[in-house]
Structure 1
Amino acid sequence: MVGKFISFEGPDGAGKTSVLRQIKADLENELGTEQVMYTREPGGNHISEQIRQVLFNPENTDMDGRTEALLFAAARRQHIVSEIVPALRAGQVILCDRYVDSSIAYQGAGRQLGEDAIWQMNQFAIDGLLPQLTVYLDIESEIGLRRIAEHRADQVNRLDKEKLSFHRTVRQAYLRLYHRYPERIKLVDASQPLAKVVADVRQTIHARFPDLFVEESKR
């Protein structure tokens, strides 16, 4: 498989959508639209998108934590088979909004199911497939939740509604992952202005894949 697999992670309100939108556009200008694939988790194909609707339905407040974790893993498996592996074989650059690190942070730490337990459970789903690069957009929980309230209050999902303590726990789990896997996970300060965050992400991607964002590296 000759493609490039880049995942994007971060607490709620880190601005992943805005950053990904710009990075996708820049890469499409550089490589052509057929060479870049944007996808997301949970989702990315019709089966996983149906699971996403169940997971994020604000009415499903009684969902058990293990059920939630298993549904994320199930959506991830179908996503890998239907989208990620074919794109890698086709030599595409994959920009994935969340992957297995999200489950470790949100279900393993946030739901207190155990970070190692969630990691082990997901081994069956991912079958050893990890991103070559994970861009972690870090932001303090208070700032992230404030952004959600100010800019997308009409799009709040079931996880967004969790207490501040939940989101703080999730962020701390992300930071542990960052320190545990420094070769794969690279941290970008998401509290900066959007243009600076995008520039830092471009630089991070170029450092791992020197054939991407070549002009940026000459500035």
Structure 2
Amino acid sequence: MEKKSLFIAIEGLDGSGKTSVARQLVHVLEQSNQSGAVMLTYEPHDPSCAGLFIRQVLMKEIKTFTPRVLALAFAANRLDHCDREIKPWLEGDKNRIVISDRYYLSSLVYQSSDDFPYASVLALNEKAKKPDIIFFIEVSDQVCYERMKIRNQPEELFEKNLSDSRRKYHEAISFLRTHNNDNIVEIDGSGSIGEVANAILQELYAFDSEWKPKQPA
């Protein structure tokens, strides 16, 4: 395989299992002789002033803000993330993969409002590197809430109304497919972490078979 790169974004509701699935994907892809190096990253990305502000908002330490201000913070955080980590990694000297736990689809869902629509949020992210493929893990609200309860961590800002977030995810997916030509694949997340990761891998190999491990002769 000639030198190439692959940028994957994993999206889903809080409690959808996306972080565990992303870790499993890294493990499997690192074992493949077709891939060089795999980097797992996440958003919001903490090592920036915008990232620290976002974390304080999510943990409800900052309570006064507007969707526009939060969208600007996420966009600034994302551009910094792209310039300092994602792009340099993908431009490395061998076949490289980046898997990001959340990306700009999440911004359309959580930073949009009646006064600041999807198009406005997307415009802030026009300079962000576009993923080659985005996977949205679809899981029921009940399963998400059960998983968050097991996690036993403080509730973050956007974890309360999952049904509304789900509606916005599907709207935002349709918007990005139509207006940004994004390649978004919806994945049934009701199975085990291994099953969900395998479903994503099969879609990934269908998208670009060169990443599929070669069978021994």
> Which TM class, normalised by the smaller chain length?
0.7 to 0.9
Q: What are the residue-to-residue correspondences of 1:45-56 with 2, within 5 Å? A: 45-47=47-49, 49-56=51-58
> Percent same amino acid at aligned positions?
25
CA distance in 1, matches of 2:171, 2:84: 29
CA distance in 2, matches of 1:76, 1:138: 24
Shift, 1:157, TM fit: 1.8
TM-score, normalised on structure 1? Answer: 0.82
In the alignment, structure 1 residue 168 sits paired with structure 2 residue 172: no
Residue aligning to 2:13: 11
In the alignment, structure 1 residue 105 sits paired with structure 2 residue 103: no
The number of equivalent residue pairs is: 211
Shift, 1:34, TM fit: 6.3
Residue aligning to 2:156: 157
Contact 1:141–1:167 under 8 Å retained in 2:
no
Q: Unaligned stretches of 5+ in structure 1? A: none
Residue aligning to 2:98: 94
CA distance in 1, matches of 2:46, 2:98: 12
Shift, 1:178, TM fit: 7.1
Contact 1:11–1:170 under 8 Å retained in 2:
no
The one-character-per-residue Cα deviations of 1:84-123 (angstroms, maximum 9, x if unpaired) are: 11011114111111111111122126x7631111111221
Residue aligning to 1:83: 85
Residue 208 of structure 2 aligns with an amino acid whose one-letter code is F
Q: Choose 97-106 or 178-187, whichever is displaced more.
A: 178-187
TM-score, normalised on structure 2? Answer: 0.83
The one-character-per-residue Cα deviations of 1:34-91 (angstroms, maximum 9, x if unpaired) are: 6111111111645564344234222223332211111111100100100111011114
**How large is the RMSD of aligned CA atoms in angstroms?**
2.9
CA distance in 1, matches of 2:208, 2:53: 33
Q: Choose 174-183 or 47-56, whichever is displaced more.
A: 174-183
Distance 1:38 1:32, change over 3 A: farther
Q: Unaligned stretches of 5+ in structure 2? A: none
